[in-house]
Amino acid sequence: MHSNIDVVTQSKCISSAVRLAAAACMTLLLAATAIAQTGGASPQLQEKLAALKQSAAQNKQKLHKYQWTEIQQVNFKGEDKPAKSFSCQYGPDGTVQKTPMAQSQPQQQQQGRGGRLKQHVVEKKTDEMQQYMGQVKSLLAMYVPPGSLKMQQAFKAGNVSMNPDPSAGLVDLVFKNYAQPGDQMTVAFNSATKNISTLNVNTYMGQAKDAVILTVNFSTLPDGTNYAEKTVLNVAAKQIVVTTTNTNYHPLGGM
């Protein structure tokens, strides 16, 4: 009789142990799933990232209602080229459309065979530089403005960290492997105003040795819209520095 009772007791103990083990495994599985979805991030990081994504998306929509002037200054091998101005606005496809504004008259071309040959060489190099810079701009379009989808992908991969700067009222959100393996984008975000203060990108063209560095300073319009006021692009491999200033923002259809 006692033997039967012992067997029943042992069976109940084993059954309870199995249920506890199953519950523990489920708890671990749920925890692992949660960590995978958040990259093991802290609630503070998740909160700041959500605010940044919302701010970036809202400001991009607000900027669609504006027209502005872009002034571009290129420095090539230490020499400043003539500045160029463009009238800018977002097109139906969601990209910025630029219309060249009146520029200063070009210098008179040199005459003679030697002058024509030199002019041909200069034009060829200019075309090559413009083509290269077009590729650089396409690359940087993946960073500025920062996209919600790419930010979320970096977050899920555990490639986002946070460095608070209480004295300045900012928090630096650092994204690694954001658009390319080995790149880095740092966004200084103002938690109070929910606006971007600065954005810094360290990336490359094709190979890591062809480094591309971009620094963007943001400002705010009277209605609270956040925009890139000044950008400095440094392509060391080509000895090119491009400084761009955006100004004269006004609603479409009005001045």
Q: List pLDDT tens digits, range 141-155.
A: 899 989 999 999 999
Q: Looking at the structure, do residues 145 and 207 belong to the same domain, yes or no?
A: yes
- Mean predicted lDDT score pLDDT of the chain: 82
Check residue 36 and give its pLDDT. 43
pTM of the model: 0.76
Check residue 136 and give its pLDDT. 85
Check residue 254 and give its pLDDT. 65
Q: Looking at the structure, do residues 142 and 110 belong to the same domain, yes or no?
A: yes
Check residue 8 and give its pLDDT. 47
CATH code of residue 213: 2.50.20
Nearby residues of 128 by Cβ (< 8 Å), 6 or more positions away: none
Check residue 6 and give its pLDDT. 54
CA angle 82, 88, 92 (to 5 degrees): 145
Task: Give the domain extent around 99.
Answer: 43-251
Q: Looking at the structure, do residues 162 and 77 belong to the same domain, yes or no?
A: yes
Q: Looking at the structure, do residues 128 and 190 belong to the same domain, yes or no?
A: yes
With contact defined as beta carbons under 8 Å apart, do 155 and 119 qualify?
Answer: no
* Spans of the chain, pLDDT less than 70: 1-41, 103-115, 117-118, 120-124, 254-255
Q: Looking at the structure, do residues 11 and 110 belong to the same domain, yes or no?
A: no
Dihedrals phi, psi of 130, to nearest 5 degrees: -65, -40
Q: Where are the beta strands (DSSP E) in the chain?
A: 66-76, 79-80, 84-90, 96-100, 160-165, 170-176, 184-190, 195-204, 211-220, 226-235, 240-251
Q: Looking at the structure, do residues 160 and 125 belong to the same domain, yes or no?
A: yes
The one-character DSSP state at 210 is S
Check residue 69 and give its pLDDT. 97
